[in-house]
């Protein structure tokens, strides 16, 4: 008879490279410092959680496309990172993820305003994604699973987690959707 304690699957963080874990540690710290500075500069208003999708509905079509691609890629990415690799479902979801990431990256080039009327550092992440996506797909087709996994993981972390985190800075649209100031 098997031990019931051993049959329960424990939640564990993925075993990612040290560089990825460093990025995942530094990004929230930087976010916290920048958010604190932004809120301090406007007199530290009270922050209340609420959802108001009006800013997204009133946003331009490109912003709506960008959010659609990013949210789709995030949800599918979580499923792919936690699921079984190498199956037909993984392949189908993977191509959908690639399309969603491409949509998010390409649409971002039509969104400016964070840095005046110029591209910002986030557009550099988009350019990196547009270049890396086909390389990671080609690696999978060559059966170079290590390169494929690394490229896809790095795009998920950099393109979705880190860039996504900074879309929640005070004053940005996603901040105004979720938090009242």
Residue 135 and residue 149 in contact, taking contact as beta carbons nearer than 8 Å: no
Which region, left, alpha or beta, applies to residue 126 given φ > 0 means left and ψ of -120 to 50 means alpha? alpha
Which of 68, 80, 158, 143 is CA-nearest to residue 107? Answer: 68
> Residue 33 corresponds to which tokens in the numbers above?
């410092």
**Domain total for the chain?**
1
11 part of a folded domain:
no
CA 161 to chain centre: 4
CA distance 86 to 88: 7
pLDDT of residue 7: 46
6 part of a folded domain:
no
3-state secondary structure of 160: helix
CA distance 93 to 140: 14
State phi, psi for 128 to the nearest 5 degrees.
-60, -40
> Residue 66 corresponds to which tokens in the numbers above?
């960008």
Average pLDDT, the chain: 86
7 part of a folded domain:
no
In the chain, the percentage of residues whose pLDDT exceeds 70 is: 89
CA-derived radius of gyration, the chain: 19
State phi, psi for 118 to the nearest 5 degrees.
-125, 165
More confident call, 125 vs 8: 125
Note if the pTM is more than 0.85: no
For residue 96, what pLDDT band results from cuts at 50, 70 and 90? very high
3 part of a folded domain:
no
pLDDT beyond 60 at 5:
no
* C-alpha dihedral sign at 21, 22, 23, 27: positive
Q: What is the mean pLDDT of residues 156-176?
A: 87
144 part of a folded domain:
yes
Domain CATH code at residue 116: 1.20.950
Which residue matches tokens 């990671």?
A: 136
CA distance 104 to 128: 12
Which region, left, alpha or beta, applies to residue 33 given φ > 0 means left and ψ of -120 to 50 means alpha? alpha
137 part of a folded domain:
yes
Q: Which domain holds residue 60?
A: 17-180
Model pLDDT for residues 50-81, shown as the tens digit of each residue: 888 998 999 999 999 999 999 999 999 999 98
pLDDT beyond 60 at 13:
no
Which of 101, 108, 86, 110 is CA-nearest to residue 151? Answer: 101
50 part of a folded domain:
yes
104 part of a folded domain:
yes
């Amino acid at each position: 008879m098997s031990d019931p304690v051993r049959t329960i699957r424990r939640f564990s963080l993925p075993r990612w490279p040290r560089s990825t874990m460093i990025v995942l540690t530094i990004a929230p710290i930087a976010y916290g410092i920048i958010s604190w500075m932004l809120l301090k500069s406007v007199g530290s208003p009270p922050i209340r959680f609420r959802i108001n999708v009006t800013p997204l509905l009133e946003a331009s079509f490109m912003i709506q496309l960008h959010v659609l691609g990013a949210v789709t890629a995030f949800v599918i990415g979580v499923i792919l990172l936690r699921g079984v690799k190498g199956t037909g479902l993984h392949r189908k979801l993977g191509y959908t993820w690639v399309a969603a990431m491409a949509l998010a990256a390409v649409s971002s080039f039509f969104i400016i305003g964070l840095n005046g009327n110029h591209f910002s550092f986030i557009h550099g992440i988009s350019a990196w994604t547009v270049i890396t996506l086909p390389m990671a797909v080609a690696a999978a087709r060559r059966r170079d699973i290590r390169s494929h996994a690394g490229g896809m993981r790095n795009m998920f972390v950099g393109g979705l987690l880190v860039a996504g985190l900074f879309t929640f800075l005070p004053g940005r649209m996603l901040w105004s959707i979720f938090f009242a100031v």
